[in-house]
């Protein structure tokens, strides 16, 4: 599909909007109005989400033809939104809008496009459910850093989960940065001039393809390298990882904040290290923001509550 973000969104609206369509028809798989949107207000709300999502895809993934959307893009966008601690209602609206986008794209590929295909955006519901379960959405804002992150990690049952959590705590990586790591991502060692100590380097791709280094302790780096030398690929199941962290948090008398709470711990520690090294507050914000693969320095303040 060609055209601007707004044109493509409008074309997809035509696939799912029938003003005033009856509810009984919209839930009847045998009716032409099945899965359609009948309310102009609801459709406008969904279209706004689509346009924001499409702009995100252009900026972070360089995708301009939205027929090329895959499940991984849905997952990245939902996790991107969760990171900024949205209200439950807002995340539910995004999930519903992306669900309707799945239907619109499937209909468009069948009715208009030359490339008929089925889309599966079910990952959106998984992420929404996890966000609810782990209280990543709420009506109030709170500090999500763990009080004793090392204890929490030691209480994880799976050794691979302990290693993934250590990488997140020490290097500030997102979940997508530790869910799959290949041997070629290991980049050796260097002296981290901020605390003036030797660290291991992993290159990860996160948040819409943004590439950058993750600095971890030599002990964690050795464990990861040893594993990769034997198995070539480090891979964890996200759902199992989420569940293990939840149980470990309970065992550690912590509020379950999922793995993202470890990034909060990283941000606080790293701000302190930069400050101790003589950086100004503004410089600290910028450096930590870059290490966490954010676009703006001010985002770091989000973690300093």
Task: Split the chain (305 residues) into runs of 10 and give each run's mean pLDDT.
Answer: 93 94 92 94 95 89 91 86 76 94 95 86 88 61 82 97 98 91 97 96 80 95 98 91 92 87 92 94 89 74 66
Helices 5-16, 88-111: inter-axial angle, 10-degree rounding: 80
| pLDDT at residue number 227 | 98
Structure token digits, residue 51: 């346009």
**CA torsion, points 134, 137, 139, 145, in degrees to nearest 10?**
60
pLDDT of the residue at 295: 66
Query: Looking at residue 137, what is its pLDDT?
Result: 60
Q: Are strands 186-192 and 180-182 parallel, antiparallel or unpaired?
A: unpaired
Range list for CATH 1.10.150 in the chain? 5-133
Q: Does domain 149-303 have CATH number 1.10.3720.10?
A: no
User: Could you tell me the strand order of the sheet in which 197-206 lies?
Assistant: 186-192, 197-206, 210-216
- Predicted pLDDT at 66: 92
User: Within the chain, which residue ranges are assigned CATH 1.10.443.10?
Assistant: 149-303
CATH topology classification for 5-133: DNA polymerase; domain 1 (1.10.150)
Report the pLDDT value the prediction gives residue 84, as an integer from 0 to 100.
65
Provide the pLDDT for residue 141.
52
Q: What is the pLDDT of residue 144?
A: 79
Supply the pLDDT for residue 106.
Answer: 94
pLDDT at 16: 95
């Amino acid at each position: 599909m060609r055209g601007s973000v707004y044109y493509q969104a409008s074309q997809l609206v035509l696939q799912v909007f029938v003003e005033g369509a009856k509810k009984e028809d919209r839930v009847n798989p045998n009716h032409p109005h099945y899965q359609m949107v009948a309310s102009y207000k609801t459709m406008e709300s969904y279209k706004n989400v689509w346009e924001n999502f499409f702009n995100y895809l252009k900026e972070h993934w360089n995708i301009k033809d939205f027929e090329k959307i895959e499940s991984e893009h849905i997952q990245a966008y939902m996790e991107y939104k969760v990171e900024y601690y949205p209200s439950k209602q807002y995340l539910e609206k995004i999930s519903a809008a992306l669900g309707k986008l799945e239907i619109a794209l499937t209909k468009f590929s069948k009715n208009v496009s030359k490339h008929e295909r089925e889309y599966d955006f079910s990952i959106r519901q998984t992420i929404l459910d996890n966000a609810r379960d782990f209280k990543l959405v709420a009506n109030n804002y709170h500090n999500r850093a763990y009080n004793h992150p090392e204890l929490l990690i030691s209480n994880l049952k799976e050794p691979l989960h302990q290693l993934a959590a250590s990488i997140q705590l020490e290097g500030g990586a997102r979940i997508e940065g530790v869910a799959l790591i290949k041997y070629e991502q290991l980049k050796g060692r260097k002296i981290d001039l901020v605390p003036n100590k030797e660290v291991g380097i992993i290159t990860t791709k996160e948040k819409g393809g943004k590439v950058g280094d993750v600095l971890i302790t030599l002990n964690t780096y050795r464990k990861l390298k040893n594993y990769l030398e034997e198995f070539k690929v480090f891979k964890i199941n996200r759902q199992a990882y989420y569940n293990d962290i939840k149980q470990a948090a309970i065992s550690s008398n912590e509020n379950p904040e999922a793995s993202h709470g470890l990034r909060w711990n990283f941000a606080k520690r790293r701000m302190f290290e930069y400050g101790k090294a003589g950086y100004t507050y503004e410089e600290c914000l910028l450096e930590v923001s870059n290490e966490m693969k954010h676009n703006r320095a001010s985002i770091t303040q989000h973690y300093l509550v």
